[in-house]
A and B are shown apart, each in its own frame.
Chain A
Amino acid sequence: MTYVIAQPCIDVKDKACIEECPVDCIYEGPRKMYIQPDECVDCGACEPVCPVEAVFYQDDLPADWADYLGVERDFFATVGAPGGASSQPPLETDHPAVAGEPQRTASS
């Protein structure tokens, strides 16, 4: 089980969540943050602090964003489990599903 960061984070990335994560498993992509599902310990600390309510327990993902569980899983299938985001540079590419989303502007 894991928590998942869904669509509302795209182009927002205020990173309130990473301050809370006790195991440093929230990684930064160019447009979105990503939770490493094998490193997440399900503590739920990231969920309430997100200002745009982008974080969900996997079973509570709204139907519209149900794909984001797969997005995070696929994303880390290539990245692996680095064992801590703060010792890593931000990741260079987003998952294609995220990269393909329209750019969010201040008003949208």
Chain B
Amino acid sequence: MPGDPLPLVPWAGTRQSATEFKSDQEVRWCPGCGDYAVLAAVQGFLPELGLARENIVFVSGIGCSSRFPYYMNTYGMHSIHGRAPAIATGLATSRTDLSVWVVTGDGDALSIGGNHLIHALRRNVNLKILLFNNRIYGLTKGQYSPTSETGKITRSTPMGSLETPFNPASLAIGAEATFIARTLDSDRHHLVDVLRQAAVHQGTALVEIYQNCNIFNDGAFAVLKDKRSAQEAVIRLEHGKPIRFGHAGGKGVIRDTATGRLRVVPVTAGNEADVLVHDAHETDPGTAFALSRLADPHTLHHTPIGVLRQVERPDYDTQMAGQLDAAVERDGKGDLAALLAGTDTWTVKE
């Protein structure tokens, strides 16, 4: 199809509905868990892409969030703790006709799986990574995670966490990610808007979803969800639009010319022209990095959500397929059995 952003993945050919993406498995998260909202949003959104269900794969690691593939009526794999990006990398590079999604949690992606995550991001493999950040280990009953705030009291930090948390979006920018977005489990409209942009991105898309674990870390993002506080707490980024928020857009983000830092100021007739215009496609990651960590770490006030960064860089899978084609053209099709039984051996002498 002309202009098709996912030219290699076959189309379903018929109109799909959310119901087709629901599996027959009973959903087993705690009642009220934010994961339900993300599941419903993904199932409601996928028909829009119109891809053949048998060419969609959800790969997860271990955690509550990682139960996601069971509930999707697509291919899927509940894999190894932290290793979903590695497994998905293999799948996406060897099968460019698949739409590959990773579902992971803050513990899965950033503790045991931190290594795999950063390398998938820098390689720019065609993966869409949904990182459910509830700032806790949910499945194992409430230990602190790499995104838990310093001082957090949990079962494994009875006197308070001594660690500085990761900021997943900042980490992803440092890891050379080409697409980074942040959204909220309960804001269906925003979540789907971000998924739509992630789905058509060429390369790795990291979508951090602030997710409520109502059992072990209830209300972690309440300030961003409550209609009254959200107006001052949430900054909705839109490419090409001035970064303004608050009542009647009364606040804005400017760059302090003396320090180079980003600052939140009341917008006046005098400074209106200085309000930063969000440019998600800017190749220099500096402003996106500053935006990713604009929020006050204690109150979460001034949290930017939306697509922080979306830049073009050749993806790993297409390039690898190109190298394989070039090698076949030069040397002919390889023979794996012959290679394994080959004569290119040597003996180690004492």
Contacts and interface: CB of A to CB of B under 8 A. Distances in A.
A83 to B, nearest CB: 6
A43 B186 contact: no
B31 A44 contact: yes
B36 A41 contact: yes
A43 B36 contact: yes
A29 B35 CA distance: 28
Contacts of A44: 31-32
B227 A84 contact: yes
A84 B22 CA distance: 24
Nearest to B40: A41
Contact of B27 (A21, A23, A42): A42
Contacts, number: 43
B194 interface: no
Residue of B27, B36, B39, B185 most packed against chain A (CB within 10 A): B36
Interface in A39-93: 39, 41-45, 47-48, 83-84, 86-87
Given A20-B32, A22-B34, A39 B214 contact: no
Interface residues of A, number: 18
A43 B188 contact: no
A46 B189 CA distance: 22
Interface residues of B, number: 18
A94 interface: no
A63 to B, nearest CB: 23
Nearest to B39: A41
Nearest to A84: B227
B290 to A, nearest CB: 31
A11 interface: no
Contact of A22 (B22, B33, B189): B33
B214 A22 contact: yes
A80 to B, nearest CB: 13
A41 B29 CA distance: 12
A1 to B, nearest CB: 8
Interface in A4-58: 20-24, 39, 41-45, 47-48
Nearest to B185: A22
Interface string B174-217: 00000000000110110000000000000000000000101000
A42 B212 contact: no
B37 interface: yes
Interface string B265-278: 00000000000000
A42 B214 contact: no
Top 10 A-B pairs ranked by shortest CB distance? A45-B32, A43-B36, A41-B40, A44-B31, A45-B31, A41-B36, A41-B37, A23-B37, A87-B227, A23-B186
28 contacts: A1-B22, A20-B31, A20-B32, A21-B32, A22-B32, A22-B36, A22-B37, A22-B185, A22-B214, A23-B37, A23-B186, A23-B188, A41-B36, A41-B37, A41-B40, A42-B27, A42-B36, A42-B40, A43-B29, A43-B33, A43-B36, A44-B32, A45-B31, A45-B214, A47-B31, A48-B31, A83-B188, A86-B227
Given A22-B37, A43-B31, A44-B31, 17 more contacts: A1-B22, A21-B32, A22-B33, A22-B36, A22-B185, A22-B214, A23-B37, A23-B188, A39-B188, A41-B36, A41-B37, A41-B40, A43-B36, A45-B31, A47-B31, A84-B227, A86-B227
Interface of A: 1, 20-24, 39, 41-45, 47-48, 83-84, 86-87
